[in-house]
Amino acid sequence: MRKVELIATATFGLEAIVAREVKALGYEDVKVENGRVTFSADISAICRTNLWLRTADRVLLKVGEFKAITFDELFEKTKALPWGDIIPENAEFPVTGKSIKSQLASVPNCQGIVKKAIVEKMKQKYKNEWFNENGDMYKIEVAFLKDIATLTIDTTGAGLHKRGYRKLSNRAPMKETLAAAMIQLSYWNPDRVLMDPFCGSGTIVIEAGLIGKNIAPGMNRNFVSEKWGIIPKSAWTEARKEAHDLANFDRKLRIFGSDIDGEVLSIARYHIKEAFLEDDIFVQKLPISELSSRFEHGITIANPPYGERIGEKEEIDRLYTEMGNVYNKLDSWSHYIFTASKEFEKLFGKKADRKRKLYNGRIECTYYQYYGPRPAKQIKE
């Protein structure tokens, strides 16, 4: 199969995790930069990375990269790229753009010039003066950074965080990609118990279920590039077969979620069922003050309320103090807490063993990590 260069885009702070996932799929030529992981592979990688990447935002096909400080340069260098070898005659190909620290700062002008250059190249390829754009989608982006233009085509469509199971929503849900990253940054493995005492609509526990059973997160959804002529249909068939064969559907997991909001738990149960994990995840209405477990060892991963709204700070402060008291009773467990609070450790009553800055949307947060003792091999949780 032909070689291509791909970019897996990533939320700031998750690039190293995305790179680790890319390498785990067998792709070695990996370059990590702010907000993206670039790698070379055969064209079947478009199928496999879209199906398997848990923490990336989307997968882009890189068409070209060059320096341009004038609109004439941008036009000529864009036109020189092999658009006709990728985009069919009837394709819909909108152009989006962004520009950071570049002389060509007008994004609308850059978009217009790139569109015009692609049309001119397609005129040469198809011997046609007009394109109806009523076919499959090839969304193009021109991204400038310090006068370097990168031109890509989106292979994903709806973002990779849209696994397909979350059809209902509650207030400000966490993205699935971030939840998956939090699990991968913990020491949880499928043999250990996992609890989320603020499970909300179920994102963290469901992502843990998918990871625990090695279910590809994109297994039950479609991607815009599935209709592209440059990717053999057999590549998608083989990638989906691989995903199905590698899934451990019969593996039993012990994952528990709780929340004080009964209404949101009904949404969680619906999402768990949509993800086919109802035999592995148990959720119940429970205040944090009553959190306990019959298991000696395990892991908690939590995304408690941040108190971003006016008037909530005192309530959140009391909650974090109460968390510290309750978690102290689970002193043989490991705990991972994700919050925007800068005072969390003080309120919780304990310094974290490790901290990592991550973002929930545009909110800067910290992932506080508390390591419990390693379970002895003979202990059955």
Q: What is the DSSP letter of 175?
A: P
CA-to-CA distance for 152 and 360, rounded, in angstroms? 26
Residues facing residue 41 across a β-bridge: 4
Q: What is the DSSP letter of 293?
A: -
CA-to-CA distance for 161 and 175, rounded, in angstroms? 6
CATH architecture of the domain with residue range 176-213+248-370: 3-Layer(aba) Sandwich (3.40)
Q: Which two tokens stand for residue 167?
A: 């059809």
> Which one-letter amino acid corresponds to residue 219?
M
CA-to-CA distance for 292 and 82, rounded, in angstroms? 60
**Contacts of residue 166, Cβ cutoff 8 Å, sequence gap at least 6:** 173, 176, 201, 203, 206, 271, 274
For the chain, give every domain's residue range: 3-154, 176-213+248-370
Q: What is the pLDDT of residue 2?
A: 80
**Contacts of residue 67, Cβ cutoff 8 Å, sequence gap at least 6:** 73, 147, 148, 149
CA-to-CA distance for 219 and 50, rounded, in angstroms? 9
Alpha helices in 82-154 (DSSP H): 107-126
Q: What is the pLDDT of residue 379?
A: 46
CATH architecture of the domain with residue range 3-154: 2-Layer Sandwich (3.30)
**Contacts of residue 72, Cβ cutoff 8 Å, sequence gap at least 6:** none
To the nearest 10 degrees (0 to 180), the angle between helices 233-246 and 45-52 is 40
Q: What is the DSSP letter of 92?
A: B
pLDDT values of the chain reduced to their tens digit, one per residue, 381 residues: 589 999 999 999 999 999 999 999 999 889 999 999 999 999 999 999 999 999 999 999 999 999 999 999 999 999 999 999 999 999 999 999 999 999 999 999 999 999 999 999 999 999 988 898 899 999 999 999 999 999 999 999 999 999 999 877 756 678 999 999 999 999 899 999 999 999 999 999 999 999 999 999 999 999 999 999 999 999 999 999 999 999 999 999 999 999 999 999 999 999 999 999 999 999 999 999 999 999 999 999 999 998 666 558 889 999 999 999 999 999 999 999 999 999 999 999 999 999 999 999 889 999 999 999 877 664 444
Q: CA torsion 181→185→186→187, rounded to 10°?
A: 120
**Contacts of residue 50, Cβ cutoff 8 Å, sequence gap at least 6:** 59, 155, 156, 160, 218, 223, 225
